């Protein structure tokens, strides 16, 4: 049997179903009115999924509104984030820090109810969602993280991690390729704590689903290794039967297909794409309320619903208190486990971690990617919360932690993840791993493939998830693979993302400190590393707070008076800039070299420091970086010289590419002295 069609039966008391129906109708009232008041939003999903939401918050989910960060709570992810009024309504009704005024200010400046869910902006929101399908990946990451934590800390006597991850996705999420990547990975690892709820209403924003999609989704998910259920999205009995069964005995990740009607209740727009992304209109809101037998009063919440959630909160609080008693017993009986738990929960960096990094012996010269791997090996022994993986490139991007096993479907005790060729999925899963609150994830691939991950990196940056991206093969100097694999626009592309710290270390000394910076930063970081070998440079072996911790610093100081030239560089081109400065000295020219491993950290420095690095008369300013020049003129001025890439590169040995594209000291000297 390919899927289980669950037929109606009596599994709930009539009175309980009547109460949940009142909750569902209240969701419809709040959602319609909020969208209409804002004159903007998506009423279709909240109207169509109101019963699903009512059942989840009223019956199925384990949570505590007074402690939204309770570690063993169930996680709910609204992948179809445009339908956020469903979630906002339930967060308000169930008692999170979201007021009725917040609901009334939907999509307004400064409100806690933005147009799509944002973490940590709104209490109770687990992850930022909206770009369709990414929430599925986030949910897979959370489920994976909870499996890891359960394996690490649960004992036969005490299961302190046993929660579920619920993700509500729509037709758009299911069609997006990211859901395929993430779901395939979830099926491979047999994540039997993941429940994907599919709001199957057969409508897209542009019209009926059958105009653009005719796949058998249930067969697709069966092939991934999911157990598939199919129910009426308005049948509380069927919901209870399925979700109770999954709570007590889930052997595989589950897809629950819920057949719904978009915009349910709207006399003229239900079942149509017209209900998807626009307010119903005042007349249609009134007609919908009348058709459903609901009060016409705006933002009406019946006392029965208020009382229901008041009683519910008491039970939920008691459930957490029972868990806390179990946790306290576990901590007392397992002091070593508890000590590691504390380290992971606080993500505390050991005292002296900078000194440890500096004392780490690494061969010289060495490729940036290999130097980083040595750092990862050291950090993995010191930081139990560090987990990492690669999109099928661990041998090339050097992300494997050799002293720890790979996580497999039958063993979650490892620290290494093989994501397969799923770059976008990897990035969304890492965001979910971070949101388990006890894991700092890193992931790797070639820099050019960061384009596959970009939207996930963007959401991580918006939300300030501490995810570390290790991108290798960082320039045209990877050589013969050619322009398909040679990144030239990627530095500029990633630097444009707010909140993302972009690091391009010049040598092993800077690589060590870039990792320290990433671990200190409460947000995402991208560490960009070479394939070719680099030698340690003079003056990069400085304290963190004098070098990478400043974002930019002087490594070659002109002797006497102002410099004739100041060269700014990153990564492998810093050594080239140093060579140019040496040749200038032989020609009687004074040159300064500034290494700029992280523009974002530099921009956070005080004005006095920035003035000491880039202010005043620095002579002719020159940037040296094997990427496009976008962004550099902020530092070198409009009349500065940018030694950069102006094409996509070429397939040839690195030595040839250096000559052909002007990245030799002789060609740079000729250009800046005669230009």
Angular region, 245: left φ>0, alpha ψ -120 to 50, beta rest: alpha
Q: What is the pLDDT of residue 2?
A: 44
DSSP 8-state symbol, 208: B
Sign of the Cα pseudo-torsion (540, 546, 550, 553, in order) = negative
Rounded CA-CA distance 329/162 in Å is 16
Per-residue confidence (pLDDT) for residue 561, from 0 to 100? 84
Flag residues of the chain having pLDDT under 50: 1-2
Dihedral (CA of 583, 585, 590, 592) sign: positive
Residue 527: closest CA among 471, 573, 574, 451? 471
Least Cα distance to 285 among 99, 484, 37 occurs for 37
Tell me what pLDDT residue 559 has: 81
**Does the predicted TM-score (pTM) go above 0.95?**
yes
Residue 315 to residue 364: CA distance in whole angstroms: 61
How many other C-beta atoms are found inside a 10 Å radius of the C-beta of residue 209?
18
Question: What three-state secondary structure class fits 471?
Answer: strand
**Which residues, including other chains, have CB under 8 Å from residue 674's CB and lie 6 or more apart?**
none
CB 55 within 8 A of CB 236: yes
Contact 533, 369 (CB under 8 A): no
Please say whether the beta carbons of 240 and 23 come within 8 A.
no
456: left (phi over 0), alpha (psi -120 to 50) or beta: alpha
Largest CA distance in the chain: 93
Q: What are phi and psi of 251, to 5 degrees?
A: -105, -15
CATH number for the domain formed by residue range(s) 550-674: 3.40.50.920
**160 and 327 Cβ atoms separated by less than 8 Å:** yes
d(CA 466, CA 461): 9
**Quick one: DSSP state of residue 411?**
B
Burial class (CB in 10 A: 0-12, 13-18, 19+), 157: exposed
CB count, 10 Å around CB of 92?
A: 25
CATH number for the domain running over 353-534: 3.40.50.970
Q: Please, which residues have CB within 8 angstroms of residue 286's CB and are 6 or more apart in sequence?
A: 296
Judging by DSSP bridges, how do beta strands 565-569 and 591-595 pair with one another?
parallel
Q: CA-to-CA distance for 218 and 198, rounded, in angstroms?
A: 10
User: Residues 212-225, buried b or exposed e (16+ Cβ, 10 A)?
Assistant: eeeeebbebbbebb
| CA nearest neighbour of 524 among 503, 508, 510, 506 | 503
Tell how strand 227-232 and strand 4-5 pair up: parallel
Burial degree of 245 (CB within 10 A; 0-12, 13-18, 19+): middle
Q: Which residues of the chain are in CATH 3.40.50.970 domains?
A: 4-317, 353-534
Classify residue 105 by burial, with Cβ atoms within 10 Å: 0-12, 13-18, 19+: middle
Q: Compute the distance between CA of residue 549 and CA of residue 350 in angstroms, rounded to an integer.
A: 18
Domain 4-317: CATH superfamily is Thiamin diphosphate (ThDP)-binding fold, Pyr/PP domains (3.40.50.970)
Active-site residue (options: 423, 558, 573, 625): 423
Cis peptide before 365, with omega less than 30 degrees from 0? yes
- pLDDT value of residue 11: 85
pLDDT of residue 558: 86
Using N-to-C axis directions, what is the helix angle for 134-153 and 177-189, rounded to 10°?
20
Q: How much is the pLDDT for 1?
A: 36
Tell me the DSSP string of 555-583: EE--SSSS-SEEEEE-TTHHHHHHHHHHH
Closest listed residue to residue 162, CA positions, set 152, 170, 154: 154
Active site residue 423: yes
């Amino acid at each position: 049997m390919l899927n289980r069609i669950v037929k109606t039966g009596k599994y709930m008391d009539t009175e309980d179903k009547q109460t949940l129906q009142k909750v569902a109708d209240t969701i419809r009232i709040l959602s319609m009115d909020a969208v209409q008041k804002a004159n903007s939003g998506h009423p279709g999903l909240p109207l169509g999924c109101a019963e699903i939401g009512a059942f989840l918050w009223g019956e199925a989910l384990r949570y505590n509104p007074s402690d939204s960060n309770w570690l063993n709570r169930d996680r709910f992810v609204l992948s179809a984030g445009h339908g956020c009024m469903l979630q906002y309504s339930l967060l308000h009704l169930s008692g999170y820090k979201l007021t009725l005024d917040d609901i009334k200010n939907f999509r307004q400046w400064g409100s806690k109810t933005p147009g799509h869910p944002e973490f940590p902006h709104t209490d109770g929101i687990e992850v930022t969602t909206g770009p369709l399908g990414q929430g599925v990946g986030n949910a897979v990451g959370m489920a994976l993280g909870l499996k890891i934590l359960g394996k690490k800390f649960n004992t036969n006597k005490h299961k302190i991690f046993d929660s579920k991850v619920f993700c509500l996705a729509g037709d758009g999420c299911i069609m997006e390729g990211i859901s395929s990547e993430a779901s395939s990975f979830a099926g491979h690892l047999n994540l039997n704590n993941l429940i994907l709820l599919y709001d199957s209403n057969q409508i897209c924003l542009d019209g009926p689903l059958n105009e653009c999609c005719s796949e058998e989704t249930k067969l697709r998910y069966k092939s991934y290794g999911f157990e598939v259920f199919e129910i009426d999205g308005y049948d509380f009995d069927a919901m209870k039967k399925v979700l109770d069964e999954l709570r007590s005995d889930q052997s595989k990740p589950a897809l629950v297909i819920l057949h719904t009607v978009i915009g349910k209740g709207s006399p003229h727009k239900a079942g149509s794409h017209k209900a998807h992304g626009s307010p119903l209109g005042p007349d249609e809101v009134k007609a919908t309320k009348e058709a459903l037998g609901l009060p016409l009063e705006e933002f009406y919440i019946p006392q029965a619903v208020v009382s229901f959630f008041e009683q519910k909160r008491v039970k939920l609080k008691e459930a957490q208190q029972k868990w806390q008693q179990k946790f306290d017993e576990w901590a007392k009986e397992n002091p070593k486990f508890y000590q590691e738990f504390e380290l992971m929960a606080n993500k505390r960096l050991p005292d002296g971690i900078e000194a440890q990094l500096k004392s780490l012996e690494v061969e010289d010269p060495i490729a940036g990617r290999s130097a980083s791997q040595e750092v990862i090996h050291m950090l993995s022994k010191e930081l139990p919360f560090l987990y990492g993986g690669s999109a099928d490139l661990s041998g090339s991007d050097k992300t494997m932690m050799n002293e720890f096993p790979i996580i497999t479907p039958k063993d979650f005790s490892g620290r290494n993840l093989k994501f397969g060729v799923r770059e976008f999925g990897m990035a969304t899963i890492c965001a979910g791993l971070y949101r388990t609150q006890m894991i700092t994830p890193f992931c790797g691939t070639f820099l050019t493939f960061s384009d596959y991950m970009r939207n996930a990196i963007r959401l991580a940056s918006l939300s300030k998830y501490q995810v570390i991206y290790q991108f290798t093969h960082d320039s045209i100097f990877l050589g013969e693979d050619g322009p398909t694999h040679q990144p030239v626009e990627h530095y500029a592309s990633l630097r444009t993302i707010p909140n993302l710290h972009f690091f391009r270390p010049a040598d092993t000394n800077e690589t060590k400190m870039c990792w320290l910076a990433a671990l200190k930063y409460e947000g995402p970081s991208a560490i960009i590393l070479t394939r070719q070998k680099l030698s340690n440079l003079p003056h990069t072996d400085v304290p963190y707070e004098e070098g990478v911790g400043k974002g930019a610093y002087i490594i070659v100081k002109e002797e006497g008076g102002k410099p004739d030239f100041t060269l700014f560089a990153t990564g492998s081109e810093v050594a080239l800039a140093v060579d140019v400065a040496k040749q200038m000295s032989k020609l009687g020219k004074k040159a300064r070299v500034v290494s700029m491993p992280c523009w974002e950290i530099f921009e956070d420095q005080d004005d006095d420091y920035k003035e000491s690095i880039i202010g005043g008369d620095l002579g002719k300013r020159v940037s040296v970086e094997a990427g496009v020049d976008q962004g550099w003129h902020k530092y070198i001025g409009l009349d500065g010289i940018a030694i950069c890439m102006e094409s996509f590169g070429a397939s040839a040995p690195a030595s040839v590419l250096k000559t052909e594209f002007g990245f030799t000291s002789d060609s740079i000297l000729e250009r800046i002295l005669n230009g």
